[in-house]
Amino acid sequence: MTTTDRTPRKLHVVTHGCQMNVYDSARMTDLLRPLGYETVAAPEGADMVIINTCHIRERAEEKVFSQLGRLRKMKEEQGGNMMIAVTGCVAQAEGEVLAQRAPFVDLVVGPQAYHRLPELIAQAHRKAGAVIDTDFPVEQKFDYLPDDAAPQGVVSFLSIQEGCDKFCSFCVVPYTRGAEASRPVASVLAEAKRMVALGAREIALLGQNVNAYHGEGPDGSTWSLAQLMDKMAEIEGLERIRYTTSHPNDMGEDLILAHRDNIKLMPFLHLPVQSGSDKILRAMNRKHKADDFRRIVERLRHVRPDMAMSSDFITGHPGETDADFEETMKLVRETGFALAYSFKYSPRPGTPAASLPQVEEAVKDARLQELQGLLREQQNTFNASIVGLETPVLFTGSGRHPGQIAGRSLWLQPVVVEHETDLTGKIRMVKITRANPNSLSGTLLDKELIAA
Ligand code: 5AD
Ligand code: SF4
């Protein structure tokens, strides 16, 4: 591969894993656009394919290797004219091993180094074998990203914090994403304003530990997430703010009160608790008890009575007995979740829990089924509780069927309304008439609404 001209080139990006990867993929696309790369929907015929990977559980990693197998064939069929880049957390964790196991890969780039992509691509053009960059550079990648991001739409995601210092026993994130780092307030506000100018009405602030945000403020002092969101609320045209993902130990009182005082902050929180058993929480190195989580939920619901909760759970962490699992079920029953994600524990290489005696696969499975049954029931109950309400909906585009428009509720539920006129970007009052398994249906009310 020796082309250096600026003729349009086809770029295909595959994204696995979390919202941060979705954001990173978009920014990589922004970085490559000035070099003549235009995105295409399929890998066939592409000049460059980026697989932005996830390492959180084994299944996510397996998907990457099966995808690489298919790309290898395609690359051969194209006479070698396809640059293949593996980015993200598998790239970070596997580095050299990945390059050896998949020698047709041209670039291996960790999540902290992707701002160097243009330079790395140039290197890959010159060099046989893979170019690997899994450094944690001293410069912040956020400072090196172009200002002309492509619009994301009415709902936009904005990365403000990366990395994790918590070292939960099961988790690879502290190893793949590195130490906690927060983006300066001015840079976040500038990007938020750009997003709003491009049509964003709702912004979700992203970070592996977003509520541990401690960014440099314009006055040189350190700002908390609550302070940052307070300032964001002043942005005209921005109607809704969310943040994800959070840790219970960083749920400070100012953040809890922000759910009462910041009118643009939505009454929905994703707060992973992982387990309801204090013994397992200790084994997980979570540094909080189940009751700490209960107290946070209670405080949140006290300051904001319509607060809906979401969480993550793991079944079958090493040491989990039937009684421990029962504690998790009890916590779920007591809390009542609007939404939740649950996973079977998956041993990750290099993490402390991976070297402990493991719970049997069938037991992990059975517990996951039981937990998911309860969580599904709670989601249905929550959705049903919204039926009959008159509530603001932010419209994001057209629905799946002609004559329908779609939006989202305050609590993140998709809402579908029969309506001919496009209301994209507008907030309107809707009477919710039905709860479907994964969405709500409603009718438009003839009421003007300025803010959420
Ligand atoms: N096995 C299963 N689930 C995991 N998670 C993180 N690491 C693992 C693992 N090794 C889950 C946690 C976390 C979510 C993003 O993924 O619940 O909150
Ligand atoms: Fe992983 Fe725990 Fe950090 Fe979350 S807080 S990213 S689960 S180590």
What is residue 3's predicted lDDT score, i.e. its pLDDT?
A: 44
Instruction: Single out the residue of 150, 241, 147 nearest to residue 198, CA to CA.
Output: 150
What pLDDT is stored for residue 452 in this prediction?
43
> Which protein residue's CA is at the shortest distance from atom 14 of ligand 1?
312
pLDDT number for residue 145:
67
What are the Cα distances from residue 45, in Å, to 36, 71, 236? 16, 11, 43
Q: Using a 6 Å cutoff on CB, does residue 348 contact ligand 1?
A: yes
Q: How far is the CA of 172 from the centre of ligand 2 (A)?
A: 8
Is 340 within any annotated ligand binding site?
A: no
Say if ligand 1 is within 6 A of residue 170 CB.
yes
How many helices, marked H, and strands, marked E, lie in the chain? 12, 21
C-beta of 168 in contact with ligand 1 (< 6 A):
no
- Strand 48-53 and strand 37-39: the pairing is unpaired
Q: Pick from 246, 249, 299: which is nearest to 269 by CA? A: 246
Q: According to the model, what pLDDT value does residue 448 have?
A: 56
Q: What domains sit in the chain, N to C, each tagged with a CATH number?
A: 9-133 (3.40.50.12160), 141-385 (3.80.30.20), 390-444 (2.40.50.140)
Q: Looking at ligand 1, which residue's alpha carbon is closest to its atom 6?
A: 171
Ligand 2 mean position, distance from CA 38 (Å): 35
Annotated binding residue 168: yes
- For residue 274, which atom of ligand 2 is closest to its CA? 7
The one-character DSSP state at 359 is: P
User: Which tokens hold the place of 97?
Assistant: 């091993």
| Residue 164 annotated in ligand binding | yes
Per-residue pLDDT of the chain (452 residues; tens, 9 = 90+): 444 456 789 999 999 998 999 999 999 999 999 999 999 999 999 999 999 999 999 888 888 989 999 999 999 999 999 999 999 999 999 888 898 989 999 999 999 888 889 999 999 988 778 899 888 775 666 766 667 777 889 999 999 999 999 999 999 999 998 999 999 999 999 999 999 999 999 999 999 999 999 999 999 999 999 999 999 999 999 999 999 999 999 999 999 999 999 999 999 999 999 999 999 999 999 999 999 999 999 999 999 999 999 999 999 999 999 999 999 999 999 999 999 999 999 999 999 999 999 999 999 999 999 999 999 999 999 999 999 999 999 999 998 889 999 999 999 999 999 998 999 999 999 999 999 988 999 999 975 554 44
Which positions ≥6 away from 261 have C-beta within 8 Å? Answer: none
What pLDDT is attached to residue 78? 94
Tell whether ligand 1 has an atom less than 6 A from the beta carbon of residue 19: no
Ligand 2 centroid – CA 168 distance (Å): 5
Backbone Cα Rg of the chain: 23
- 245 prior amide bond cis, ω within 30: yes
State if residue 173 touches ligand 2 by the CB under 6 angstroms criterion: yes
**Closest atom of ligand 2 relative to the 285 alpha carbon:** 2
Q: Are 434 and 440 in contact (CB under 8 A)?
A: yes
- Angle at the Cα of 51 from the Cα atoms of 47 and 53, rounded to 5 degrees: 170
3: number of Cβ within 10 Å: 10
**Cβ atoms within 10 Å, residue 401:** 9
The three-state secondary structure class of 121 is helix
Instruction: Indicate whether residue 144 lines ligand 2 (CB < 6 A).
Output: no
**Ligand 1 within 6 A of 391 CB?**
no
Do the beta carbons of residue 274 and residue 281 sit within 8 Å?
A: yes
Which amino acid, 62? E
Residue 279: helix, strand or coil by DSSP? helix
Residues 6+ apart with CB under 8 A from 11: 29, 32, 37, 38, 39, 40, 46, 47, 48, 49, 50
The pLDDT score that the predictor gives to residue 208 is: 93
Interhelix angle 253-261/290-303, rounded to 10 degrees, is: 30
